[in-house]
Amino acid sequence: MTLGIGVIGTGAIGQDHIRRVSRALSGGRIVALNDINADNARRAAQEWAPDAVICDTARDLVARPDVQAVMVTSWGGTHAEYVLDAIAAGKPVFCEKPLATNAADCLRIMEAEMARGRRLVQVGFNRRYDSGYLDLKAILDNGTIGDVLMVHAMHRNQRVGPNYKTEMAITDTLVHELDVHRWLLDDEYVSAQVIFPRRTSKALPHMRDPQIALLETKRGIRIDVEIFVNCQYGYDIQCAVVGELGQANLPDPPAVPVKTGETLSRHIMNDWKYRFIDAYDAEIQDFIDRASTGSPGGPDSWAGYAASVAADACVRAQESGRIEPIEMIAKPAFYSR
């Protein structure tokens, strides 16, 4: 069986997922597209999915009988509404991060999913599919470095555009880190603080960059994450986990070391699309495979909610300058099975 997929939002990552479903992966077919800007959708169809129908509204797309699963890749502020539409229609839905832009909307999504009685949502936390993070998690889980004490992490982008605001360092960027560290450590956050080092002159005037988020978990592990989105030299993701017996690092993506002119160098990527291309492929293939059976796997709505609660606290911490508590509801049994 080939899974008929409808995609809402045909911007950068929407087009990339349309391409991978159409050209790189198996078991799925893009049958419908919607974007607030219909020309975007038409261009994406022309390039990657010429048979796809262009729908006037996202709701029309979700309602189509040939759309058996939905991918939401539009702007973050629209995610909750479209995910709720897909759940109401009983269709599996892959939602790019964030699941919603606040924890209250994530709660509405969980309530709707639980009322449906089966899992329908997969959240686009692609790092859980990255071989480097999976290897790192295996090292932590098998106790090689003993009990974890600290994590030093770093998220650097070459530069960001004028629409990127100070808060987006949390809601758009740190949100990946907020998911991946609770998954890596199998722990939950209790508090967050955000501090601002000296501002780079390379950031646009409206933006405070870099920032450092300081998180504490229930087990007392301290995590510092540098977010520096105008670092100039490339896209660079680092994670060093320190335990009682040693340290484990996220490996850099492979690159050929070049020696020439008395210099040893290695290329650094400049784009998330290529840095995590294998992880995106694995993530979307997993969605196709599991959604074809009726229920997706991977990061669930609870993961989307947990990241969102932590992100809300970090945004409060950006404004207050204080240590802000991170408080979640008790985990519903539905998300523990």
Provide the binding-site residues for ligand NAP, judged by CB under 6 A.
8-14, 34-37, 40, 58, 73-76, 78, 96-97, 124, 126, 172, 272
User: CA 69, CA 27: separation in Å to the nearest integer?
Assistant: 12
In the complex with ligand NAP, which residue's Cβ is closer, 242 or 311?
311
> Which residue shows structure tokens 């029309």?
60
Measured in degrees and rounded to the nearest 5, phi and psi for residue 241 equal: -105, 125
CB of 9 to ligand NAP, least distance (A): 4
Residue closest to ligand NAP when measured from CB atoms: 11
CB of 306 to ligand NAP, least distance (A): 16
- Amino acid in the structure at residue 38: A
User: CA dihedral in degrees (37, 40, 44, 49; nearest 10)?
Assistant: 30
CB of 41 to ligand NAP, least distance (A): 8
Q: Are 150 and 221 in contact (CB under 8 A)?
A: yes
> Which residue shows structure tokens 């669930």?
300
CB of 73 to ligand NAP, least distance (A): 5
In the complex with ligand NAP, which residue's Cβ is closer, 4 or 299?
299
In the complex with ligand NAP, which residue's Cβ is closer, 85 or 209?
85
In the complex with ligand NAP, which residue's Cβ is closer, 9 or 28?
9
CB of 115 to ligand NAP, least distance (A): 25
The span from the first CA to the last CA of the chain, in angstroms, equals: 27
In the complex with ligand NAP, which residue's Cβ is closer, 94 or 189?
94
In the complex with ligand NAP, which residue's Cβ is closer, 148 or 213?
213
CB of 320 to ligand NAP, least distance (A): 25
Which helix (H) or strand (E) is 189 found in, with range? Answer: strand 189-195
Q: Are 126 and 274 in contact (CB under 8 A)?
A: no
Crossing angle for the helix pair 103-116 and 79-88, to the nearest 10 degrees: 10
For 21-55, the DSSP string reads IIII-SSEEEEEEE-SSHHHHHHHHHHH-TTPEEP
In the complex with ligand NAP, which residue's Cβ is closer, 85 or 96?
96
In the complex with ligand NAP, which residue's Cβ is closer, 78 or 191?
78
Q: Are 226 and 210 in contact (CB under 8 A)?
A: yes
Q: 168: how many CB neighbours lie within 10 A of its CB?
A: 18
CB of 30 to ligand NAP, least distance (A): 15
Q: Are 4 and 66 in contact (CB under 8 A)?
A: yes
* Paired tokens of 63: 């309602």
CB of 214 to ligand NAP, least distance (A): 23
In the complex with ligand NAP, which residue's Cβ is closer, 228 or 276?
276
CB of 75 to ligand NAP, least distance (A): 4
DSSP 143: T
Q: Which residues contact 276 (CB under 8 A, 6 or more apart)?
A: 126, 127, 130
User: CA 148, CA 85: separation in Å to the nearest integer?
Assistant: 41
